[in-house]
Amino acid sequence: MVSKDSVQPPSSTPSLAIEKEEDMVALKKQRMNKIEALQAAGFTPFAYRWNKTHSALQLQTTYEYLSPGEQDTRVEISFAGRVKSKRTFGKLIFLTLEDDTGNIQLYVEQQVMARDSFRCIKSLVDIGDIIGVQGWIKRTEKGELSIVAKDWQMLSKSLLPLPDKFHGITDVAKRYRLRHVDMIVHPSVRHILRKRASIVSAIRAFLERKQFVEVETPALHRIAGGADATPFVTYHEALDVKLTLRIATELFLKRCIVGGFERVYEIGRVFRNEGISTRHNPEFTSLELYEAYKDYEDMMLLTEQLIAWVAQQVCGTTEIDYMEEKIHLGAPFRRITMNELVKETLQVDILSYDEVTSAKSALEIQCKASENVKDWDSIDSLGKLLASCFEHYCEKLLVQPTFVLDYPIEISPLAKRHRKDPRLTERFELYIAGRELANAFSELNDPIEQRERLIRQLEESEHGDKELDEEFLVALEQGMPPTGGMGMGIDRLVMLLTNSSSIRQVIAFPLLKPE
């Protein structure tokens, strides 16, 4: 923030080239000397506590009424924050202090302060230091709300300089590696994390109101299940067993439903041993919820209500901007079956064919599908053909919230067979901005069919040890009520509601490739 009180800072800190190793060493040495100087002057360079009476935001709002030149000396202000800028004019110093909520100017005048104190703040405080001040409030002639400092304390002396605030950290990878510095320099990073907390909190409030019980199920699983993904493998020494980190919370939450909880949810970390991209971090946060006696129709209602409510709570509106698009999150969302959608896009009604080769030829004529669709030759069923075409041609077109319904049974081993078409399941995925955000089913609760489907999945899977989760099947044999279930990626929801293009922006410390 450039102060209105200064024309050109005569003695500003030199621009910091953080990359140069020798400079850094010299600078750190300088700062260490200042620590000694502070100690010699009776200061504690790393203090124990500070009593803060106001946040920057509180000051800005409480004293909004002060007009230029006006002050209020009756209230003793005690404030603390990080020094973001410092400008010295002989007997007058201006500092900008920043805290969690915003900025406030510090007005330091020699005649108001003890001589030693003034000398130390002038010579021993650097940008990046955290200091505490006491004084009163005043709006300067130029209109800047300021704390007039009577006394100050060093709270934490910084040994490393902040990167040049005008150029920031240009290397994106470096920003994520030095996330704390990124946050100091770019308040927007903090803003996203704050919004993330509000989003998760709003989801919890919504579900509590609907009488869902929050539960915690294990993160260490003996057999990875509930999704088709490569798990992280670890080893428990005392028990001498191999364990995997969960790839989904699904199978344990269903056991809670078997046990008689009718509405449960878990918000928790899930791990997948996959590459890193703008949409993928090896650990991410998922919401999964299950409700007895409901089906996927009910889950659609719940999902659209939830998203609209969270958007309203957190953004104050259901009309949001995401990248170049305006997205309407108000319910109801569009509902369309996968087959209809492919038909609409490619003019081929895949499910109207009796077998896969004739459907393939129709697609070939229509859109040269063999050249576009992944693993074309190995597609051996109508269901897989439908899913592949959807993935390639339709996903990216789904900008506005769309429930894509009725997924083929081959790719949905935990979803219940469709009550009207045995080739399909009662499953939907919600797409927004071309990305999958939620996945839900009428849950398969027939243990005999579940066993067959899991066996088939294991045969086709490229992941894991191909071990059947007998304990889960035994739980189903005990009887699971008809149940609707829904899973949602919290990180992706946060991306959407904070207008972030990469998952890294919404994770406090994303995993990075080693340097």
Angstrom CA distances, 43 to 39, 46, 314, stand at 5, 9, 43
Angstrom CA distances, 48 to 132, 156, 404, stand at 11, 9, 57
Please report whether residue 269 would count as binding another protein according to CB under 8 A.
Answer: yes
82 or 87: whose CB is closer to another protein? Answer: 82
328 or 463: whose CB is closer to another protein? Answer: 463
Take residue 500 and report the two structure tokens written for it: 């972030």
161 or 401: whose CB is closer to another protein? Answer: 161
Interacting positions 293-322 with another protein (CB under 8 A): 293-295, 297
Residue 318 in contact with residue 310, Cβ under 8 Å?
no
Near another protein by CB under 8 A: residue from 9, 330, 447, 464? 447
Residues 6+ apart with CB under 8 A from 28: 159, 160
Q: Which stretch binds another protein (CB under 8 A): 103-111, 289-297, 354-362, 429-437?
A: 289-297
Please report whether residue 82 would count as binding another protein according to CB under 8 A.
Answer: yes
H/E segment holding residue 389 = helix 382-389
CA–CA dist 90, 392 (Å, integer)? 67
Please report whether residue 104 would count as binding another protein according to CB under 8 A.
Answer: no
Please report whether residue 120 would count as binding another protein according to CB under 8 A.
Answer: no
Near another protein by CB under 8 A: residue from 133, 147, 149, 200? 200
Please report whether residue 422 would count as binding another protein according to CB under 8 A.
Answer: no
Please report whether residue 50 would count as binding another protein according to CB under 8 A.
Answer: yes
202 or 329: whose CB is closer to another protein? Answer: 202
Please report whether residue 19 would count as binding another protein according to CB under 8 A.
Answer: no
| H helix runs in 250-337, sequence order | 250-258, 296-315
Please report whether residue 436 would count as binding another protein according to CB under 8 A.
Answer: no
Please report whether residue 213 would count as binding another protein according to CB under 8 A.
Answer: yes
Interacting positions 452-481 with another protein (CB under 8 A): 471, 474-475, 477-481
Please report whether residue 239 would count as binding another protein according to CB under 8 A.
Answer: yes
| Residue with tokens 């001589």, as numbered in its chain | 115
Q: Pairing between strand 130-139 and 334-337? A: unpaired
Interacting positions 318-377 with another protein (CB under 8 A): none
**How many CB atoms are closer than 10 A to CB 411?**
18
User: Which residue type occupies 182?
Assistant: D
90 or 479: whose CB is closer to another protein? Answer: 479
**How many CB atoms are closer than 10 A to CB 162?**
19
398 or 454: whose CB is closer to another protein? Answer: 454
28 or 326: whose CB is closer to another protein? Answer: 28
Near another protein by CB under 8 A: residue from 14, 42, 90, 260? 260
| Residue with tokens 């409700």, as numbered in its chain | 291
Please report whether residue 275 would count as binding another protein according to CB under 8 A.
Answer: yes
Angle at 66 between CA 63 and CA 67, to 5 degrees: 150
Termini Cα distance of the chain: 33
The C-alpha R_g of the chain, in whole angstroms, comes to 30
